[in-house]
């Protein structure tokens, strides 16, 4: 019979109970036992929900108090020594460990994730999980790292479910993905694929995985799920060839146990054959991202011991599945392999979608009828499995309802704005090209803006979101403050921020973004084509959740979005105030996006809306406009052969939004916290006048990328790390500027912090910006002195 299964369930809880419990524990408001009870309760509820949905095989160990990669590191004992010492709990047994002595304490795990206040330990690095907005903790592995089974979380949670009468399939991060995502403790150590992924440690690691599998089998597990999403990446040959070796070892370690190898986030491409030949019992393929994989696998031949799990329900987006189409794929597989060798599943873990649409009582019913969150997706999986196993007649009513809903979705007039579609069709290449080359524009702008000859200073946009501001917004949202009162209070705040910047001596000012809670939601709320959920939370990292807007239809801008705020700010100063906007790629990347038209098309529509806003700002006398694209790098496809296509339309959209302005109007952009080295061409192709970029944490290492490339535009490499409360000394920032001066043409350098200041406090921001301005003045004077001495 075709089975229904799931790869992972959201763990945050319907009311974000996990966030509340974990944060309360960190603040000392609840005990360790309370926290563990909260975890147990969430796991229990989520297993029961999945059983009620009718799944045949339910995952376990997909729960985590922080992050599943960090859990895996703790389970195999990959805990750097500095975190074991000084916490006082490393060997205290704790509640999670059944292994006296060796078990990693929960507080040690949290210290790795968040650092410690007492002895000032920095946390491990955190980075994006493939192309999602989920962040995992990067395990740090010492040269020659030894591993040992240091936690029994997978076994304990398996037993917990057993007690409820549910035999789960425990989920583990596979050993090769684990190593690929890890980094060596000291840079330059160890060889390997992913920026020096410590592949050499595989032989140390495999016995520990083997031991864990034996324990799971001993506890009664029939299946174990090993997640190897790296199989959807371009892998070096040495990593590819490590797969058969690793999986032979694992299969040999626990002979009775069945291995379910999960791949997701893309087509396996050249790794498909490799995956099909591994000694495992089931292979999961993401047929949403890689629909062609099924036919290729069937054509090549699926080894007789291997079952296929078909990821036909999108685990990365919120739209209802086309059941007919999904069922057709599953039927094809069942006909070729026999129904007993086919499973139906979401494309990936449901971690990346909100939990339950049923909570969205305030959402427009028509829009609601288009959506499926985690619980609804499981229902879809079950319908598809039943349809494939028992025949379509068994699910005829559901299929008919689904087809009708999708037809209504496709044809809803609310999703289609003919003028917008016409406008995109009528675009000409010159619409995304500025009329005058960069060098000429620079001259015109310097004059127009009256900037200092060297090292003009500015900030990235937001100023601190104070408790008073937050309270104000909450009052307004509750209706205790009229919109007029709220806006008047925001204008007072803007006046204050302008005055402060004048006093500090900054050259290009900002209004401070007090009216924005979020740089994407703020714009989405003012655009046609977006909907918002009340409870659509998705885990971003640890206890942090985001509630992405839902982009369901053609995008249009009914009226100006920012002009009143910016012109108000500009009316208070003679210095230029920047128009401050979020770029089309970032708006798209941080939303759930319709999948019935190509992303390039969605992005062009967004770009046109922003273009109109930029034109309005310019017409209102604004001379500098900043278009932020912090998500530009993370929106890159996982596979290199798809990069060019992405870069082509993404840069075109940025230029489409900005090329509307006159040569003397300056376009700035900002990006942060990404690897820039391999996207320099794309950054040049944006044709922005000024790039403000995060750089201080790497002590300007980033400038190496600019040196090789002769970057044509102005650059503001951040000199002040806004993620730390620390106020850097003048000399430190001056030294970073001297480094920039040594590498970049001096007439092209700007002085600014790394990113927006909204998470900081004025007590830090004010002195830090003052020192930044002084550092700029100091280095300007040095430059003038050198000139004079020549």
- Pick the closer one to Zn ion by CB: 538 or 672: 672
Q: Which of 341, 473, 670, 771 lies at the binding interface for ligand GLN (CB under 6 A)?
A: 670
Closest to 741 (Cα-Cα) out of 715, 709, 720, 721? 715
Q: Which stretch binds Zn ion (CB under 5 A): 89-97, 180-188, 367-375, 665-673?
A: 665-673
Residue 519 contacts which entry, ligand GLN, Zn ion, none (Cβ below 5-8 A, type-dependent): ligand GLN
x/- contact string, 525-564, with ligand GLN (CB under 6 A)? ----------------------------------------
- Give the separation between CA 375 and CA 358, rounded to whole angstroms: 9
8 A C-beta contact, residue 688 and residue 667: yes
Q: Does 135 bind ligand GLN (CB under 6 A)?
A: no
The nearest distance, CB 523 to ligand GLN, in angstroms, is: 12
Q: What are phi and psi of 655, to 5 degrees?
A: -70, -35
Residue 580 contacts which entry, Zn ion, ligand GLN, none (Cβ below 5-8 A, type-dependent): ligand GLN
Q: What are phi and psi of 216, to 5 degrees?
A: -65, -40
- Pick the closer one to ligand GLN by CB: 302 or 587: 587
The count of residues interacting with ligand GLN (CB under 6 A) is 13
**Tokens representing residue 776 in the block:** 């700029």
Query: How, if at all, do strands 140-141 and 592-593 pair?
Result: unpaired
Q: Which stretch binds Zn ion (CB under 5 A): 46-54, 372-380, 468-476, 754-762?
A: 754-762
**Tokens representing residue 273 in the block:** 């054959």
The nearest distance, CB 169 to ligand GLN, in angstroms, is: 38
8 A C-beta contact, residue 105 and residue 90: yes
**Number of H helices and number of E strands within the chain?**
28, 22
Residue 105 contacts which entry, Zn ion, ligand GLN, none (Cβ below 5-8 A, type-dependent): none
- Pick the closer one to Zn ion by CB: 316 or 758: 758
**Tokens representing residue 780 in the block:** 């300007």
Q: Which of 278, 306, 326, 580 lies at the binding interface for ligand GLN (CB under 6 A)?
A: 580
Cβ-defined contacts of 485-492 (< 8 Å, 24+): 487/515, 490/514, 490/515, 490/565, 491/568
- Pick the closer one to Zn ion by CB: 343 or 755: 755
8 A C-beta contact, residue 3 and residue 282: no
- Pick the closer one to ligand GLN by CB: 529 or 753: 753
Residues with a known catalytic role:
723
Which H or E run contains 762?
helix 762-789
- Give the separation between CA 494 and CA 568, rounded to whole angstroms: 8
Q: Which of 388, 614, 756, 768 lies at the binding interface for ligand GLN (CB under 6 A)?
A: 756
Q: Residue 721, Cα to own-chain centre: how many angstroms?
A: 21
- Give the separation between CA 152 and CA 726, rounded to whole angstroms: 39
The nearest distance, CB 277 to ligand GLN, in angstroms, is: 44
The nearest distance, CB 461 to ligand GLN, in angstroms, is: 3
Q: Which stretch binds ligand GLN (CB under 6 A): 395-403, 454-462, 682-690, 763-771?
A: 454-462
Q: Is 224 helix (H, G, I), strand (E, B) or coil?
A: strand
CA-CA-CA-CA torsion for 285, 398, 14, 408, nearest 10 degrees? 90
Q: Does 617 bind ligand GLN (CB under 6 A)?
A: no
8 A C-beta contact, residue 549 and residue 524: yes
Q: Is 397 helix (H, G, I), strand (E, B) or coil?
A: helix
Q: Which stretch binds ligand GLN (CB under 6 A): 408-416, 434-442, 458-466, 544-552?
A: 458-466
8 A C-beta contact, residue 60 and residue 161: yes
Query: How, if at all, do strands 126-128 and 135-137 pair?
Result: antiparallel
Residues 6+ apart with CB under 8 A from 388: 2, 327, 330, 331, 334, 339, 342, 344
The nearest distance, CB 516 to ligand GLN, in angstroms, is: 8
- Pick the closer one to ligand GLN by CB: 519 or 733: 519
Q: Which stretch binds Zn ion (CB under 5 A): 365-373, 499-507, 623-631, 677-685?
A: 623-631
- Pick the closer one to Zn ion by CB: 371 or 755: 755
**SS3 per-residue string spanning 550-619:** EEEEEEECCCCCCHHHHHHHHHCCCCCEEEEEECHHHHHHCCEECCCCCHHHHHHHHHHHHHHHHHHHHH
Report the alpha-carbon angle 371-376-382, nearest 5: 130
- Pick the closer one to ligand GLN by CB: 542 or 756: 756
- Pick the closer one to ligand GLN by CB: 224 or 460: 460
Q: Does 672 bind Zn ion (CB under 5 A)?
A: yes
The nearest distance, CB 580 to ligand GLN, in angstroms, is: 6
Q: Does 461 bind ligand GLN (CB under 6 A)?
A: yes
Q: Does 250 bind Zn ion (CB under 5 A)?
A: no
The nearest distance, CB 462 to ligand GLN, in angstroms, is: 3
8 A C-beta contact, residue 654 and residue 434: no
Residues 6+ apart with CB under 8 A from 724: none
Q: Does 755 bind ligand GLN (CB under 6 A)?
A: yes
Q: Does 755 bind Zn ion (CB under 5 A)?
A: yes
Closest to 137 (Cα-Cα) out of 87, 94, 83, 93? 83
Q: Which of 672, 683, 700, 744 lies at the binding interface for ligand GLN (CB under 6 A)?
A: 672
**What's the burial of 603, exposed, middle or buried (CB within 10 Å: 0-12/13-18/19+)?**
buried
The nearest distance, CB 129 to ligand GLN, in angstroms, is: 19
Q: Is 714 helix (H, G, I), strand (E, B) or coil?
A: strand
- Pick the closer one to Zn ion by CB: 630 or 716: 630
Of all residues in this chain, which one has the CB nearest to ligand GLN in the complex?
756
- Give the separation between CA 125 and CA 136, rounded to whole angstroms: 9
- Pick the closer one to ligand GLN by CB: 375 or 501: 501
Closest to 272 (Cα-Cα) out of 295, 249, 305? 295
Residue 140 contacts which entry, Zn ion, ligand GLN, none (Cβ below 5-8 A, type-dependent): none
Q: Which of 112, 272, 519, 627 lies at the binding interface for ligand GLN (CB under 6 A)?
A: 519
Q: Does 733 bind ligand GLN (CB under 6 A)?
A: no
- Pick the closer one to ligand GLN by CB: 64 or 462: 462
The nearest distance, CB 758 to ligand GLN, in angstroms, is: 5
Q: Which stretch binds ligand GLN (CB under 6 A): 421-429, 496-504, 655-663, 750-758?
A: 750-758
- Give the separation between CA 692 and CA 711, rounded to whole angstroms: 13
Q: Which of 758, 760, 771, 780 lies at the binding interface for ligand GLN (CB under 6 A)?
A: 758
The nearest distance, CB 23 to ligand GLN, in angstroms, is: 23
The nearest distance, CB 548 to ligand GLN, in angstroms, is: 15
DSSP character at residue 464: -
The nearest distance, CB 561 to Zn ion, in angstroms, is: 20
Q: Does 630 bind ligand GLN (CB under 6 A)?
A: yes
- Pick the closer one to ligand GLN by CB: 216 or 627: 627
Residue 462 contacts which entry, Zn ion, ligand GLN, none (Cβ below 5-8 A, type-dependent): ligand GLN
8 A C-beta contact, residue 567 and residue 621: yes
Which H or E run contains 691?
strand 690-693
Residue 758 contacts which entry, Zn ion, ligand GLN, none (Cβ below 5-8 A, type-dependent): ligand GLN
Which H or E run contains 54?
none
Residue 6 contacts which entry, ligand GLN, Zn ion, none (Cβ below 5-8 A, type-dependent): none
Residue 67 contacts which entry, Zn ion, ligand GLN, none (Cβ below 5-8 A, type-dependent): none
Interacting residue ranges for ligand GLN, rule: CB under 6 A = 460-462, 513, 519, 580, 628, 630, 670, 672, 755-756, 758
Interacting residue ranges for Zn ion, rule: CB under 5 A = 630, 672, 755
């Amino acid at each position: 019979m075709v089975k229904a299964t799931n790869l992972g369930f959201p763990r945050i809880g319907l009311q974000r109970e996990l966030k509340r419990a974990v944060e309360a524990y960190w603040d000392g408001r609840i005990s360790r036992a309370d926290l563990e009870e909260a975890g147990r309760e969430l796991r229990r509820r989520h297993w029961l929900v999945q059983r009620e949905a009718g799944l045949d095989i339910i995952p376990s160990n997909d729960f985590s108090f922080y992050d599943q990669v960090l859990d895996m590191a703790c389970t195999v004992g990959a805990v750097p020594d500095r975190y074991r010492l000084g916490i006082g709990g490393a060997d205290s047994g704790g509640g999670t460990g059944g292994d006296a002595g060796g078990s990693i304490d929960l507080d040690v795990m949290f210290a790795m994730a968040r650092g410690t206040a007492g002895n000032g330990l920095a946390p491990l690095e955190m980075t994006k999980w493939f192309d999602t907005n989920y962040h995992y903790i990067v395990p740090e592995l010492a040269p020659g790292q030894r591993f040992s089974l240091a936690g029994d979380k997978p076994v304990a949670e398996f037993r917990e479910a057993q007690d409820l009468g549910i035999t789960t399939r425990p989920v583990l991060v596979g050993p090769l993905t684990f190593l690929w995502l890890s980094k060596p403790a000291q840079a330059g150590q160890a060889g390997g694929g992913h920026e020096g992924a410590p592949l050499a440690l595989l032989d140390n690691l495999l016995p520990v995985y083997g031991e864990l599998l034996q324990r799971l089998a001993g506890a009664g597990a029939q299946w174990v799920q090993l997640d190897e999403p790296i199989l959807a990446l371009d892998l070096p040959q040495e990593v590819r060839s490590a797969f058969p070796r690793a999986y032979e070892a694992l299969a040999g370690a626990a002979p009775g146990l069945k291995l379910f190898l999960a791949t997701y986030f893309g087509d396996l491409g050249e790794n498909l054959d490799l995956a099909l030949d591994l000694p495992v019992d089931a292979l999961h393929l993401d047929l949403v991202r890689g629909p062609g994989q099924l036919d290729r696998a069937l054509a090549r031949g699926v080894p007789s011991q291997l079952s296929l799990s078909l990821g036909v329900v999108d685990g990365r987006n919120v739209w209802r599945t086309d059941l007919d189409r999904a069922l057709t794929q599953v039927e094809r597989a069942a006909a070729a392999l026999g129904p007993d060798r086919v499973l139906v599943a979401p494309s990936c873990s449901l971690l990346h979608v909100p939990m339950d649409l049923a909570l969205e009582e305030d959402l427009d019913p028509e829009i609601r009828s288009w959506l499926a969150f985690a619980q609804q997706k499981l229902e879809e999986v079950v319908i598809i499995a039943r349809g494939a196993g028992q025949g379509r007649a068994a699910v005829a009513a559901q299929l008919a309802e689904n087809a009708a809903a999708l037809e209504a979705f496709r044809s809803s007039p609310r999703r289609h704005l003919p003028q917008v579609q016409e406008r995109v069709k009528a675009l000409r290449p010159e619409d995304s090209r500025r009329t005058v080359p960069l060098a000429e524009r620079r001259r015109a702008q310097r004059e127009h803006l009256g900037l200092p000859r060297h090292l003009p200073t500015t900030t990235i946009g937001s100023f601190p979101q104070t408790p008073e501001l937050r309270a104000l917004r909450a009052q307004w949202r509750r209706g205790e403050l009229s919109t007029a009162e709220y806006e008047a209070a925001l204008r007072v705040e803007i006046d204050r921020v302008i005055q402060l910047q004048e006093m500090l001596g900054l050259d290009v000012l900002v209004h401070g973004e007090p009216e924005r809670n979020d740089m994407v939601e703020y714009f989405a709320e003012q655009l046609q084509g977006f909907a918002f959920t009340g409870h659509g939370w998705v885990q971003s990292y640890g206890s942090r959740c985001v509630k992405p807007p839902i982009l369901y239809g053609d995008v249009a801008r009914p009226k100006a979005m920012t002009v009143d705020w910016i012109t108000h700010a500009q009316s208070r100063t003679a210095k230029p105030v920047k128009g401050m906007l979020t770029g089309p790629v970032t708006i798209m990347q941080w939303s759930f996006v319709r999948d019935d038209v190509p992303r390039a098309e969605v992005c062009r529509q967004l770009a046109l809306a922003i273009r109109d806003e930029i034109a309005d700002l310019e017409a209102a006398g604004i001379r500098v406009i900043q278009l932020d694209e912090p998500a530009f790098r993370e929106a890159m496809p996982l596979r290199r052969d798809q990069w060019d296509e992405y870069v082509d339309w993404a840069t075109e959209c940025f230029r489409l939004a900005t090329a509307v302005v006159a040569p003397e109007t300056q376009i700035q952009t900002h990006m942060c916290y990404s690897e820039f080295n391999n996207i320099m061409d794309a950054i040049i192709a944006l044709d922005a006048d000024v790039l403000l970029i995060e750089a201080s944490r790497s002590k300007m290492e980033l400038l190496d990328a600019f040196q090789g490339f002769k970057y044509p535009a102005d650059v503001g490499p951040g000199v002040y790390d806004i993620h730390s409360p620390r106020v850097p000394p003048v000399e430190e920032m001056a030294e970073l500027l001297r480094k920039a001066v040594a590498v970049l043409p001096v007439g092209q350098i700007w002085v600014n912090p790394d990113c927006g200041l909204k998470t900081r406090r004025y007590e830090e921001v004010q002195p830090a910006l003052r020192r930044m301005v002084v550092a700029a003045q100091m280095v300007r004077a040095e430059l003038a002195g050198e000139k004079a001495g020549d």
